[in-house]
Amino acid sequence: MSVLPSLHPGPLGVVRELVGMPLEFARMYRGFGDAVAQCPRGDGHTVLVLPGFTATDETTLPMRRFLDRLGYRTAGWSLGWNLGIKPEDEPKLEAHVERLAADGPITIVGWSLGGVYAREVARRRPELVRRVVTMGTPIRGREGTQWVVFFFRLLNQAAGEDLTDEGAERMAQPIDAPTTAIWSSRDGVVSGHACQVREEDIGPDAENVEVDSTHLGFGFNLDVLQVLADRLSRPASLAAAS
């Protein structure tokens, strides 16, 4: 249960996060080696990391390097800037997941908007996905995301259906893969409440984990990396219980 008050996200929240980014980077740099040494080793399965809104695979490099060091095989999404997947890109992402899963089901980690697509791939092709981890992903409605949605509509007119109340409700439905929803009350972009699995859906295969991180820092926050390493090290058949 959260012990920190949620903050109201918005443009000022983004500015606040940007100002603090140097400290986030410095903390990761200082603790990266110790975190690698202390975290459980991976079993070599493939982990696909999807970037957030207006981001590219370059932003997920620190996380992927961390997971590489633990023994996983990592991959980016290879679709360039994440401005929202257009209809013609959906089969491309699904085909990418299918190729990566040639040797067995993969884990998909999605940062912010990337987590929406991670869940949707797992919903459509559950046989390809062993686990989904979302970070700051609005999975229960659009609370605290209205200002982001405004810019999203400008950049991706094809996503109109997904932005309706009906689309949000559809995306909030549980998926057939163990799910860890990482969220933070310090999130200055999306409401932390919106990034949690709904109470009625929490169970052996769906959990919420609160961390002390900014939205822009999820990909290289040491607390997030440690949670990720723990969940990925669990056997594919083991439920996502805390």
Summarised one tens digit per residue, pLDDT across range 82-136 is 888 777 788 999 999 999 999 999 999 999 999 999 999 999 999 999 999 999 9
How much is the pTM? 0.88
Domain-located, residue 51:
yes
According to the model, what pLDDT value does residue 165 have? Answer: 65
Domain-located, residue 4:
no
Domain-located, residue 156:
yes
Domain ranges, residue 223: 11-231
222 pLDDT more than 90 = yes
According to the model, what pLDDT value does residue 156 have? Answer: 63
Domain-located, residue 3:
no
Domain-located, residue 47:
yes
Domain-located, residue 35:
yes
Query: For 196, which DSSP code?
Result: S
Domain count, the chain: 1
What's the pLDDT tens digit per position in 39-94?
Answer: 999 999 999 999 998 899 999 999 999 999 999 999 999 999 888 877 778 899 99
* CATH code of the domain containing 148: 3.40.50.1820
Domain-located, residue 94:
yes
Domain-located, residue 102:
yes
Please provide the DSSP assignment of 99-160 as one string.
HHGGGS-EEEEEETHHHHHHHHHHHH-GGGEEEEEEES---SS-TT-HHHHHHHHHH-GGGT
Helix (H, G, I), strand (E, B) or coil at 183: strand
**Element housing 166 (H / E):** helix 165-172
